[in-house]
Amino acid sequence: MTADAPIIAIENLVTEFRTGGGWHPAVRDVSFAVQRNETLAIVGESGCGKSVTALSIMGLVPPANGRVASGHIRFAGRDLVGLDEEEMRKLRGDRISMIFQEPMTSLNPVLTVGFQIAEALHYHRDMGRREADASALELFDQVKIPSARQRFADYPHQFSGGMRQRVMIAMALACRPELLLADEPTTALDVTIQAQVLSLLAELKAAYGMAMIFITHNLGVVASIADRVAVMYAGEIVETAPVNELFARPTHPYTELLLRSIPRVDRDTVGLSAIAGQVPSIGAMPSGCRFAPRCPLREEICTRRDPLLVKLSDPGDHQVRCWLRAPSSEAGHG
Amino acid sequence: MADSVLTIRGLRKFFTVTRGFPRSRTVTVRALDGISFTVRDGEAFGLVGESGCGKSTAGRAVLRLVEPDEGEIVFKGENVITASKARMRELRRKLQIIFQDPYASLNPRRRIGKALIEPMRVHGIADEAECEARARALLAEVGLPDNAMMRYPHEFSGGQRQRIGIARSLTLEPELLVADEPVSALDVSIQSQILLLLQRLQERRKLAFIFISHDLGVVRYFCQSMAVMYLGRIVETGPIPAIFKEPLHPYTKMLRDASPVPDPLVKVAMLRIEGEVPSAVNPPTGCHFHTRCPHVMPICRTVYPEWRQMDDERGVACHLHTN
C-alpha cells in the first residue's frame, strides 16, 4: 500500500446469484480503491453489476439467493467479507453510508424525518434525544433544507423528491462517514434539481473529506462529479481512468460507443451511434470478452479467451480490458 | 414554409383532486393553462419541461385521451374537439401515441401478432391474411424477427418492447405520432437504437411527431422545433438551433445549462440550492417562474407576462422580452 492508503480497497470481488438452479457471477473479478476526498464513479447500463458491487460493500447482498463468493473488501484495512451482521451493523450508517435512487422507498413513511436523521446518532453515538435532535437540526442546515426547524417534524410525504433526497443525504451523513455510497441518487430527479443535489454532494464530500462511490448510468453526471471512473459491463470493469483521461481517450470499444450514443445538449450530434444487440443475461454470458458479441471490432481471439484489465503504457492510471485496444503480454485466463 | 398538420390554441385542462386525511381538501391542478403551438408537416415537435409541467397531459389531450376543458385542436383543418364519435374514430387512425413503458400498454396474455392485427381489424382495414402480412412487414420495419408474432410481451427486453409499441402505433398508418418519453426508460445503448429507428420512420413515412421528453439532449437531436413548458404554460417556442444557441426565457436557459454533458471540461451550471419547487396545484402569482428566476423584477411577481411573438417561429412569455 502506498503512503496515501485508500479508505476502501476491493480486490477480485466476485458476487454471485442463484438463478435457474446454478450460481452465476453478477460481479466478476472487480478490483478498485478509493482514497479519502476522492469520488469514484461506477458507470454502466442496467445489469452491469454496479449496484451489486455497492450492496456487496454494504453487506446487503440478499443471503437467500446471493453471496460474495470470493475476493476482499478492505475498509480502513479491515476485510468486510465474512464479517458478521453485528459488526457490519456497527459500520453501516456510521463509517459507511449509502443513499439510494428513490428516497421515498428508503424513508419510513410513519416517522418524522427529524426522528429518522437523529436515529443514527442515537444508535451509533449513544446520544440522548435532545442532543441527537440538535445535531440533526444542524444537518438539516448543512443539506440546505429551508425553515429547518418547522420541517423537522414533517413526514416524508410532505417533501418533494429533491428535498427527500436531501433528507436521505442528511441521514447518511449524520455520523460523518468516511465512505459514502451513492446509488443513482439523482436519477429520479428533474435536471435542475439534479444539478442542485450534485453540487451539494460535491460540497459536502470536500467539507467532510469523505471518499465517495457514485453509481450512475449517466455519463453526463459522471463528467460533472467524478475524479475517477470505472466503466462496468456484464459484471466486469472494462475500463478505468481519471475522469479527464477517460473522456479524452475512451479506449474500450464499449466506452467509446457509449459516449457516441448520447445525444448531446451542448452541440449538434452528427452520426449518433447505436450499440447493436443487448446486454447478455446473467445466466447466458458469452465466453471470452463479454462485449464481443456486440463489438464491431471483434476478432477471433475475443470470443475465445477472456481479456485482462491491462494498464495502458503511457498515461498513469488508465486500464482497459480489451484484446485489441490493450493487448496483454501474458496469456489471459479462460 | 411547410403547412401545419396540427394547431393547438388555448388548450386548458384543470384536474380537481381531493386529498389529505383526516381533513381532506379539494385542490385544482392547473395541468394545462391555455397552451398554443403548431406542428408542421413532417416535423418532430419537442415538448419539454420538468415533471408536473403538463407536457404529458398536453400529449394526451391532443388525442382526447383526456378531454380538454377549453381550447381548439385543429388537425389538418378539422377541429378534433368538436368531432363526432364516428369521426373521432377515423381521426384516431391518423393520430397515434407511443408510451414510455410499453410493457404497461401491452396485454401480457396476448401474442404480439394479435396485438398488431387487432387495430387493423377494428378499423376494418383489410382481410385477415392481408392484416397478418402487414403485421409481419411492420415487425421487419422496426427491426424485430418474424417469429415475434407468436410470442408474448414478457419474452422481450425493454428495447424490443418499445419497438413493439412503435410497430403497433404504426398499424393504422398515422400521420402524427405523440411519443411520450419513448426512450426515457431505456439504457443509453438501447436509447440510441430507438432514436435512430424513430428517425428512419420519420423520414420514410413523412411522420409528424409530438415528442415529449425531459431530456434536452434527446430533443435537440430528434426534433426540429420545440416548446418549453413550466407549470401548465408554454414559456418559449422556436426552432431547435435558435433556442439552444440563445434561449430567450431564463427557464429555458436554466434547463439547458443544468443538463449534464458527457465532457468533464464543459462546466455544467451548479445551481443555487432552492427550497420546495412550486407545483401546478398552487402556482406562484405573476410569472410562475419568478420564485426561481435569476432575473426577477418587481413586475414578475404580480403580472403574468404576455406572449410575445418575436418572429414567424420564435415566441416567449417573459417580462425581459416585452416591449
Which residues on B lie below 8 Å from A268 (Cβ)? 220, 241
Q: Which amino acid belongs to residue B78?
A: E
Comparing CA positions, the residue from B207, B222, B140, B138 lying closest to residue B174 is: B207
Question: Which SS3 state, helix, strand or coil, does residue B7 take?
Answer: strand
Exposure b/e, B37-63, CB count within 10 A at least 16 = b? bbbbbbbbbbbbbbebbbbbbbbbbbb
* Cis, peptide link before residue B22, omega less than 30° from 0: yes
CA distance B39 to B41: 7
Q: Assign A332 a pLDDT band (cuts: 50, 70, 90).
A: very low
Per the CB < 8 Å rule, is B187 touching A217? yes
> What number of other Cβ atoms are within 10 A of residue B118's Cβ?
16
End-to-end Cα, chain B, rounded Å: 27
Contacting residues for B66 by C-beta, under 8 A, at least 6 apart: B13, B57, B60
Closest CB to A264 among B187, B195, B262:
B262
pLDDT for the residue B296: 93
B51, A276: Cβ pair inside 8 Å?
no
Contacts of B291 in chain A (CB under 8 A): none
> For A126, how many CA atoms within 13 A lie in the half-sphere containing its CB?
1
- pLDDT per residue as tens digits for the range B266-278: 877 767 777 778 8
Strand partners, B180: B212
Nearest CB among A45, A202, A222 relative to B187 is that of A45
What percentage of chain B reaches a pLDDT higher than 70?
99
CA distance A10 to B102: 39
pLDDT (tens digit per residue) in B221-271: 999 999 999 999 999 999 999 999 999 999 999 999 999 999 999 877 767
Q: Is B67 exposed, middle or buried (0-12, 13-18, 19+ CB in 10 A)?
A: exposed
Shortest Cα–Cα distance, B96 to chain A (Å): 25
Contact B220 A144 (CB under 8 A): no
Q: Nearest Cβ partner of B259 from A146, A199, A265?
A: A265
Cβ-defined contact of B51 to A263 (cutoff 8 Å): no
Q: Answer whether B214 sits within 8 Å of A191, measured CB to CB.
A: yes
The yes-or-no verdict on residue B323 having pLDDT over 80 is no
CB contact under 8 Å between A264 and B51, yes or no, is no
Instruction: Please state, in angstroms and rounded to a whole number, the distance separating the CA atoms of residues B48 and A332.
Output: 49
Q: Tens of pLDDT along A55-68? A: 999 999 999 999 99
Query: How high is the pLDDT of residue A299?
Result: 95
User: How confident is the model at residue B162, as a pLDDT?
Assistant: 94
Contacts of residue A222 in chain B, CB cutoff 8 Å? 262
Instruction: Identify the pLDDT of residue B18.
Output: 84
Which chain B residues have a beta carbon less than 8 Å from that of A224?
260-261, 264, 268
CB contact under 8 A, B188 and A217: yes
pLDDT in tens, B144-159: 998 999 999 999 988 9
* pLDDT (0 to 100) of residue B21: 75
Model pLDDT, residue B52: 87
Cα separation of A263 and A332, whole Å? 36
Confidence at residue B133, expressed as pLDDT on a 0 to 100 scale: 94
pLDDT of A160 reads 86
Span B36-95, pLDDT tens digits: 999 999 999 999 999 889 999 999 999 999 999 999 999 999 999 999 999 999 999 999
Give how far B82 is from chain A: nearest CA, Å. 36
* pLDDT at residue A314 in the model: 67
Cα distance between residue B289 and residue B250, in whole Å:
9
Kindly report, residue by residue over B135-189, the tens digit of the pLDDT: 999 999 999 998 999 999 999 988 999 999 999 999 999 999 999 999 998 888 8
Look at the block and give the residue holding cell 435512487.
A101
Q: CA B223, CA B67: separation in Å to the nearest integer? A: 26
Strand bridging mode B233-239 / B225-230: antiparallel
Which residues from chain B sit within 8 angstroms of residue A258, using beta carbons? 188-189
Which residues in chain A have Cβ-Cβ distances shorter than 8 Å to B279?
160
Q: Does A241 score more than 80 pLDDT?
A: yes
pLDDT in tens, A135-179: 999 998 889 888 888 889 999 988 888 889 999 999 999 999 999
Average pLDDT, chain B: 92
What pLDDT score does A331 carry? Answer: 47
For residue B189, give the nearest of A190, A221, A274 by CB distance.
Answer: A274
Digit-coded pLDDT (tens) for B102-122: 788 899 999 999 999 999 998
Dihedral over Cα of A145, A149, A150, A154: its sign: positive
Give the residue from A159, A165, A264 with the most B CB atoms within 10 Å of its CB, the best one to mutate: A264
If you average pLDDT over residues A5-12, what whole number do you get?
A: 95
A104: pLDDT confidence band, cut at 50, 70 and 90? confident
B19: its cell numbers: 386529498
| Residue from B67, B12, B77 nearest B38 by CA | B77
The grid coordinates listed for A71 are 475476493
DSSP string, B255-281: HHHHS--S-TTSPPP-PPP-SPPP-TT
Q: Which parts of A174-317 fold into alpha helices (H)?
A: 191-208, 219-225, 243-248, 253-260, 300-304
What does pLDDT average to over chain A? 91
Instruction: Inform me whether the pLDDT recorded for B9 exceeds 60.
Output: yes
Q: A289-307 pLDDT, tens per residue?
A: 999 999 999 999 999 999 9
Reduce the DSSP state of residue B53 to 3 states and report it: coil
B268 and A195 in contact (C-beta within 8 Å)? yes
Q: A270: exposed, middle or buried (C-beta count within 10 Å: 0-12, 13-18, 19+)?
A: exposed
Angle between helix B112-122 and helix B128-141 axes, rounded to 10 deg:
120
* Per-residue pLDDT, B235: 97
Task: Quote ipTM for the complex.
Answer: 0.89
Cβ atoms of A286 and A280 closer than 8 Å: yes
Q: Where are the beta strands (DSSP E) in chain B?
A: 4-19, 25-40, 44-48, 70-75, 78-79, 95-98, 176-180, 208-213, 225-230, 233-239, 308-309, 315-316
Task: Give CA B279 to chain center in angstroms.
Answer: 19
Q: How far apart are CA B107 and CA A60, in angstroms?
A: 35
Quote the pLDDT of residue B19.
Answer: 78
A272 phi, psi to nearest 5 deg: -65, 135
Residues of chain A positioned with their CB less than 8 A from the CB of B220: 263-265, 268-269
* Model pTM score: 0.92
